[in-house]
Structure 1
Amino acid sequence: MAPSSERFRQMLCYIHQDDLLRPQLLVGEIMLLAAHLKLGFKVTKAYKMDLIKHILSLLGLDHRYNVPTGKLSGGQKKRLAIALELISNPPVLYLDEPTTGLDSSSCSSCVALLKKLASQGHTIVCTIHQPSALIFEMFDKLYTVVDGHCMYQGPVRELVPFLADQQLVCPSYHNPADYLLEVAVGEHQRDLNELIHAANKKYYEDVDRHRYMSSDDMARLVESIKENMGGKAVVKTSEALAAFAAAQFSSFDYVKPSPQELALEEIKALSGGPESADPDLLEKNLRPQPQPLAKAGELARPPNAIRSASFLMQYVLLMQRILICAKRNYFLLLARIFSHIFIGVVFGYLYMNVGNNAQSVLGNYVYLYGSTLLLVYTGKMAVVLTFPLEIDMLTREHFNRWYKLGPYFLSLISFEIPFQSLCTAMYIIISVHLTGNDATDSFRIYYFMLLGIMASLSAQAWGFFVGATLPTKLAVFLGPILAVMFSVFGFCTRYIDITPLFRWMWHLSYFRAGFHGALNAIYGMDRPFLECPETAMYCHFRSPKVFLKYMMISDVHMSDCLILMGIVIGVMHVLTLITLWHKLNKR
């Protein structure tokens, strides 16, 4: 099976070097969430709970079931990351430096755990730098890379004899791993090209030695596999063995450690043996065979077929995760709410009672501009860091087939859009009442609120796109700059005063659409004359139509503004989804 094939990718999981866990979730909650996503809902919850307890007990985390992941130690976080992937019982686990950031005791425990998993049928592949002698001896096979070339590959126990054959004698008191690194960096004045050539020669000699198997070796191999699989009959050809192994690996049957290790070369040698498959025997082995829960820790495979959660259930589960995290980390949400309330009160008292005053039309004009500017900035900057902070976690969970991109993105905007709309509505209700813009027709306030929400959501969509496209520092820097560029049109400069080179930005500016729409909501739609104070000698803008005509927005329709902002929201969300898909699927 080629490593690049889709079937092979479905059989492996990748565990990142960093502990990519959401600190708000409890250990039991995140394990149950992973079980729901990976196993689907045709598997009973009772089985999932048994599986979770079994895995946590296997990894020594059963006593931390109700502890938030943010309060776990470094070694416990590493074990929890492994436990999350063991739910789907992947045949192959890739780990990127699993001992990084751990103390010596935690390092030994982590590698011992990986050794135990390897003895239970998993293939464990991990990178490691400068392991101690104790940890180094736990590994079965070693692959050393220097300058992009293999300097040694083979059993760990054969490393020291191999180096001795190359006139590189490792002292008995020296850690072989440290000695090998010293050779790799050139401390022993040895030509690495000769060592690389010798390693390749040794590898091909080992391959030739195990290319074919005798009948006795074949019988021993089959008996070993049969013992690992619980005494069931097994097939005897390479193709049938591959299919049989894939079926067994997906059966969630955690078997007991085998007393003897099967060499990889022996399994490869099956390709040179006789090809006499028994279809009836193969079908029998591939058919699910339920087993009762074993007292010794063996776990029965589920009674129903294993299928990951559907699109809808993935969306529901991810939405539930977002709500739990938001409930337990509510400070940021409260800050967003109170900031809108506070600025609404400040703006309200700053522009108090300008709404129906013909002498204060320009003051109300500035209030509407400042409101649109506030809603655009809060909408964009509140989410611009969402993807830069979550992209590593999203990449790991998506690669390990927890969920698809669609449900994740849909659940995210399903939370952010209503929340930002709520914040916008609270600001407008407070500020509109204090400024006196609600003194006339109430439907104008509803239109103003709708336009403010659409402007804020347009900026939010831009924030998602900028955050998904650019690195963190660049996204924080360019986000406000883009908002300033779009905010220029419609307030400081009239359309006839814009250089023809930049008039296209006037037509595409969602800020201009929101601001002009708000002006039409307040002063358009045949609004009657404004009140002119008795102390004023003359009110030039007593007629709202005169003001709109003077600002050259009398022919702007709110429907056009709403359509433009709706298009911006849809297009930017689609572009964000495409950008994320490209990042998650690039090779």
Structure 2
Amino acid sequence: MEIDVEAQSNPDSTIFKNANRLVILEFEDVVYKIKTNNGGLIKKDSKCEEKMILKGLTGVIKPGEMLAMLGPSGSGKTTLLTTLGGRHGGGGRLSGNITYNGKPLSNAMKRNIGFVTQDDVLCSFLTVAETLAFTALLRLPNNLTKDQKILQAEAVVDQLGLTKCKNSIIGGPFLRGISGGERKRVSIGQEMLTNPSLLLLDEPTSGLDSTTAQKIVCTLWQLASRGRTVVMTIHQPSSRVFYMFQKVLLLSEGNTLYFGNGAEVMDYFARIGFAPSVAMNPSDFLLDLANGLTPGDSHEDQNLVKQGLITAYKRNLADNVKAELQEINLHQPHDEPEDKTIGEWPTTWFQQFSVLLKRGVKERRFQAFSGLKIGQVLTIAVLSGLLWWQSSHLQDKIGLLFFMSGFWGFFPVSQAVFTFPQERKILAKERASGMYRLSAYFISRIAADLPMELSLPTVFLTIAYWMAGLKATAGHFFLTLFVLLLSVLVSQGLGLALGAVVMDQRSATTLGAVIMMAFLLSGGFYVQNVPGFIAWIKYVSISHYTYKLFLGSQYSENETYLCYDRGGSRMCMVGEYPAIKQVGLGGQAISMVAMFLMLVGYRMIAYIALMRIGVTKV
């Protein structure tokens, strides 16, 4: 495949030449209902009723046109946009016809749609260039080489005017990065990478100043002029921005008040008796009408005004829109076969895993090895070594072993519970766009965490073990290290499962602390005679099995220690020491099997919980 030198300025003319068809988007009598519970708290006499969000909307948008959906909050703009993009989810009931070139949504067409959410969901620690490059590697098909995908990402950087900030990190709430306008352009760039024929955007100018908003809309206007179909929701555009829209859809409480040419909207409302009394921004005037406010100081009933506008639309414009739909359907080839070469995924599983792993390591390198975490572990390791400095007492040594099982139970859980709640939006966005398989993401995410999860406990044990005077042989040390790392991975799995199931950071943290405290108390160190009705906890306790394996890594049943009684000192069996006897030195293999079962089981729970997120089937 040849790459034209124009790639740096116009990606449409090179790699993706003739790759995508033009898209005519049609929607007819679209109704969307959700169930609501009247009465607040669930009661026996409460009734679930259906609320109609979209009330029979009809329209058509052709290639080269840019449609703006206007309306006050709650008018149904975002609901209609997500419905048109096939992302309405399963929370409501949809009826009506939505077609793309005369056909319902298919996997091939879904790959041809770009969807930009209102919130810029981006990886905070990646640069602009890295963000677009990773997206290109995941979303572009395998008939392109890696170099061609990177070239396409660089071309989008140039096209959107992001060259000056391409090496700057995205940033976030607590990390300074690029500006809001640049973030929005990066979000648009992620969708432009696949050269979509249909581009849907939810409030692309939200939170931006008028100049930046105009630049964003001007960029979208240029995309539409090249044959794309562009649809966006927008709240209150400036007059300069408003007149860029070829078509305008004005909504009020799920009803259409106007659908047609943007340049004719003011004349239409003037003809039906609603003209502004003073010169004003058209979007301000239209929003007033959508709220039932008439020009001047009229005190007309707002609901009556809205009903009048709905009736006027049905009488004056609705038939014209349906006639346009019928005319397009007459000339549209309905027998065009679907492209069977387009698979469900643009890349292979291993490619997805490799790219996600590399991205995860880059994203996590700042969080995983932050000075605060390293300092925390080093401080506790040195402090533990000093407190247990070359201890010769059996009780002290088993106390250190139990402390390690407790600390390295809490620490991984407290870190892992944040993983999926923090990445939920990114996962939902990327999975909805068909970027990768959930399994590739899940395994790469776990693998990206391994450097931190394994290196910090290794450093901790290397310091504390020798300072505390535990058995100074390589065999005992490495067996203890193996048990510690296994415990860390199991605890991490519990944290991942809690985060994935609860999906709320505060609730997951609280639940994790309660569970780990229960495991710690039943571990066999604090309470040796646990009542039978609650003794079952130890059989699912990470702390219990870790403590038992730690004891086995240091002591054997035939080993002796120097003990004292009224008759003086004598040699006693380690296995008979009360604090050890209750836990026991036997059953090491069973404890190891239990740990491996939890290692796999917790991660399976997390994976199943994540299956709820991100994909709308077609």
Structure 1 length-normalised TM:
0.78
Correspondence for 2:347: 309
Q: Between 68-77 and 448-457, report the one with greater CA deviation.
A: 68-77
Secondary structure class of the residue paired with 1:145: strand
Q: Distance in 2 between matches of 1:69 and 1:495?
A: 53
Correspondence for 1:425: 458
Correspondence for 2:218: 112
Correspondence for 2:358: 320
Q: Deviations over 1:107-163 (max 9, x none)?
A: 000011111111112222221111111112212222233223333333223322332
Q: Distance in 1 between matches of 2:282 and 2:495?
A: 52
Answer yes or no: is 1:573 the counterpart of 2:615.
Answer: no
Q: Distance in 2 between matches of 1:40 and 1:536?
A: 81
The correspondence for 1:43, drawn from 144, 169, 181, is 144
Answer yes or no: is 1:163 the counterpart of 2:266.
Answer: no
* Counterpart contact for 2:524–2:583, Cα < 8 Å: no
Secondary structure class of the residue paired with 1:143: strand
Structure 2 length-normalised TM:
0.74
Q: What is the identity, as a one-letter code, of the residue corresponding to 1:308? A: P
* Counterpart contact for 2:431–2:614, Cα < 8 Å: yes
C-alpha distance 202-571 of structure 1, shift in aligned 2 (>3 A): farther
The offset of 1:538, in angstroms, is 4.6
Correspondence for 1:239: 334
* Counterpart contact for 2:560–2:574, Cα < 8 Å: yes
Q: What is the identity, as a one-letter code, of the residue corresponding to 1:422? A: S
The correspondence for 1:340, drawn from 362, 377, 383, is 377
Correspondence for 1:506: 538
The offset of 1:459, in angstroms, is 1.1
* Counterpart contact for 1:523–1:544, Cα < 8 Å: yes
Q: Distance in 1 between matches of 2:484 and 2:414?
A: 16
Q: Deviations over 1:369-399 (max 9, x none)?
A: 1111110111111222122222112222222
Secondary structure class of the residue paired with 2:249: strand
Correspondence for 1:224: none
The correspondence for 2:485, drawn from 436, 441, 453, is 453
The offset of 1:48, in angstroms, is 3.0
Q: What is the identity, as a one-letter code, of the residue corresponding to 2:363? A: C
Question: Which of the pair has more CA radius of gyration?
Answer: 1
* Counterpart contact for 2:575–2:585, Cα < 8 Å: no
The offset of 1:55, in angstroms, is 2.4
Correspondence for 2:91: none
* Counterpart contact for 1:421–1:453, Cα < 8 Å: yes
Q: Distance in 2 between matches of 1:157 and 1:539?
A: 101
The correspondence for 2:291, drawn from 166, 180, 185, is 185
Correspondence for 2:180: 74
Q: What is the identity, as a one-letter code, of the residue corresponding to 1:409? A: F
Q: Distance in 2 between matches of 1:207 and 1:461?
A: 55
Runs of 4+ in 1 over 6 A off after TM superposition: none
The correspondence for 2:130, drawn from 9, 29, 46, is 29
Correspondence for 2:200: 94
Q: Distance in 2 between matches of 1:428 and 1:49?
A: 43
The offset of 1:366, in angstroms, is 1.9
Q: Distance in 1 between matches of 2:616 and 2:362?
A: 31
Secondary structure class of the residue paired with 1:131: coil
Q: Between 191-200 and 408-417, report the one with greater CA deviation.
A: 191-200
* Counterpart contact for 1:14–1:399, Cα < 8 Å: no
Correspondence for 2:119: 18
State the aligned residue count.
Answer: 502
C-alpha distance 73-368 of structure 1, shift in aligned 2 (>3 A): same
Correspondence for 1:562: 592
Answer yes or no: is 1:352 the counterpart of 2:389.
Answer: yes
Q: Distance in 1 between matches of 2:447 and 2:464?
A: 27
Bigger proportion of residues as helix = 1
Gaps spanning 5+ residues in structure 1: where? 219-235, 251-304
Q: What is the identity, as a one-letter code, of the residue corresponding to 1:580? A: L
Q: Distance in 2 between matches of 1:181 and 1:568?
A: 57
Gaps spanning 5+ residues in structure 2: where? 1-98, 172-176, 295-299
1:216-255 pair list within 5 angstroms: 237-239=332-334
Q: Distance in 1 between matches of 2:134 and 2:159?
A: 19
Identity %, equivalent residues: 23
Q: Distance in 1 between matches of 2:442 and 2:240?
A: 45
Q: What is the identity, as a one-letter code, of the residue corresponding to 2:269? A: L
The offset of 1:576, in angstroms, is 0.9
Correspondence for 1:300: none
* Counterpart contact for 1:458–1:568, Cα < 8 Å: yes
The correspondence for 1:529, drawn from 560, 577, 586, is 560
Bigger proportion of residues as strand = 2
